[in-house]
A and B are shown apart, each in its own frame.
Chain A
Amino acid sequence: DTAVSQTPKYLVTQMGNDKSIKCEQNLGHDTMYWYKQDSKKFLKIMFSYNNKELIINETVPNRFSPKSPDKAHLNLHINSLELGDSAVYFCASSQEGYEQFFGPGTRLTVL
């Protein structure tokens, strides 16, 4: 009964490829997020969706595109992967502005 799940946990790919990371929450929350954690462990918001509507879109390259098919899912698609995209990507969810619950993370390595 995992609250926030992400797949895959590890993703190793070549530069220039396109990849997707999937996220699902079973908490009934109305808001979902994508965060990026860089090699220095710094966490930064990328996107946020509230009831399937994009409410935060930070300065992220256009190669990153979130998609929310329903309230429980928020996927992240990345086109033309670059070396600098290597990081850990965390999905999270919350009800309104209250505490966020994080998924286990997806470690993306671009070779």
Chain B
Amino acid sequence: AQSVTQPDIHITVSEGASLELRCNYSYGATPYLFWYVQSPGQGLQLLLKYFSGDTLVQGIKGFEAEFKRSQSSFNLRKPSVHWSDAAEYFCAVGAATGRRALTFGSGTRLQVQP
């Protein structure tokens, strides 16, 4: 069965500092990987996705993520965090066919200090 682990429940960074959110997955085949962001009281917005090809993917709002098959990881990074980045971040794994539902990690809450 597929699973996603986000080991950091809560992270606090200073505005302007770099950010890395960790995500490890377990999946039997090549996964489809996603990062979503949820602001308080809001729905989920897709930040970026990996299906195949280049293992470094660029997303919206200056985020990027790197797929490392050997480490079963898909960590999210941003070189300089803005106060508006404070939110809950979810990593998810899915499949192209068959069971298409996403399996989500438990989320990482990001706080940004001024």
Question: Which chain A residues lie closer than 8 Å to B38 at the CB level?
Answer: 41
Interface residues of A: mostly helix, strand, loop or mixed? strand
Partner of B99 from A35, A56, A96, A103 at Cβ < 8 Å: A56
A31–B36 Cα gap in the complex (Å)? Answer: 19
Contact check, A45 vs B107: say whether CB atoms are below 8 A apart: no
Size category, B interface: 20 to 34
Contact check, B97 vs A97: say whether CB atoms are below 8 A apart: yes
- Chain A: interface residue total (CB-CB under 8 A): 26
Report if B56 contacts A (CB, 8 A).
no
A43–B93 Cα gap in the complex (Å)? Answer: 12
Q: State the Cβ distance, A33 to closest chain B Cβ, in Å.
A: 6
Q: State the Cβ distance, B75 to closest chain A Cβ, in Å.
A: 19
- A97 with B94: in contact, given A45-B102, A55-B100 (CB under 8 Å)? yes
Q: State the Cβ distance, B96 to closest chain A Cβ, in Å.
A: 4
- Interface-side segment among B18-26, B44-52, B60-68, B76-84: B44-52
Question: Which chain B residues lie closer than 8 Å to A45 at the CB level?
Answer: 101-103
Contact check, B99 vs A99: say whether CB atoms are below 8 A apart: no
A41–B38 Cα gap in the complex (Å)? Answer: 10
Q: What are 16 of the A-B contact pairs (CB < 8 Å)?
A: A40-B106, A41-B106, A42-B104, A45-B103, A55-B100, A56-B99, A56-B100, A92-B44, A94-B100, A96-B97, A97-B32, A97-B100, A99-B49, A100-B102, A104-B42, A105-B42
The 7 A-B pairs of least Cβ separation, nearest first, read: A97-B96, A45-B101, A102-B44, A43-B104, A104-B43, A97-B100, A102-B43
